[in-house]
Structure formats: structure tokens, C-alpha cells
Amino acid sequence: MPTITLIEHNGTQHSVMGEVGQSVMQAAMNAMVPGIQADCGGACSCATCHAFVEDAWTGVVPAAEDAELDMLEFANERQETSRLTCQLTIQENMDGMVLRLPESQY
């Protein structure tokens, strides 16, 4: 099971175990990570599961599809490395991946 680290805006780190095929959002919700609200339950409609992928891992995550890019376009604190974690499916090669959470979800 890949382990993914989510860092809250205040610096608190959460290492969560994810299952391959599950979304990063689901893994974070199951671990009760504050800062991921996921109001729409993964329907790519709310942008409250926003996170920034640490630079070293941007090459590992597959590119976002149009619907996600549309949502990200106006998400709070949008950055180059922004992703909606409900659209990020966990794969074996994501073991050790680090994501930071935006201030607006703090």
C-alpha cells in the first residue's frame, strides 16, 4: 500500500496509507486529514479537495483532464502544481508522494 504524505497549511504532516485504485481524496478522508473537505464526494464539482503536488512528484502524477482543469482554473490559490485530489488515482509509483494543502482549506 503506497503511503502518501499530506501537509496541512500550518505544517502538520499526515502520512496516509492508500490503496491502489483509490483516489488520494478518499485515502485522506479515511484518515480524517483536516483540510480536505471533499463536499461533492469526488464528483469534480466542489474544488474543496485541492492540493499542491510537491515538485519532485509532478512527473509521477498523470495530467489532469479537462473537467479538472476547468475547476482548477478558478480554485483558490491556484498554482502550477495544483490538483484536485479526488481526480488523482493512487498508483504503486506514488509511494512516498508529498502534497501540500492550501490555506483556504485550513
- Residues within the interface to ligand FES (CB under 6 A): 25, 38-40, 42-49, 84, 86
Q: Is 46 in the site for other proteins (CB under 8 A)?
A: yes
End-to-end CA distance of the chain: 27
Q: Whose Cβ is closer to other proteins: residue 19's or residue 55's?
A: 19
Q: Whose Cβ is closer to ligand FES: residue 14's or residue 105's?
A: 105
Single-letter amino acid code for the residue at 4? I
Q: Whose Cβ is closer to other proteins: residue 29's or residue 88's?
A: 29
Neighbours of 61 (CB within 10 A): 19
Number of residues that bind other proteins (CB under 8 A): 22
Distances (CA, A) of 98 to 33, 50, 70, 85, 95: 14, 13, 24, 12, 9
Q: Is 70 in the site for other proteins (CB under 8 A)?
A: yes
Closest CA to 22 of 8, 39, 50, 1: 1
**Residues of the shown chain interacting with other proteins in the complex, contacts defined by CB under 8 A:** 22, 26, 29-30, 32, 34, 37, 39-47, 67, 70-71, 73-75
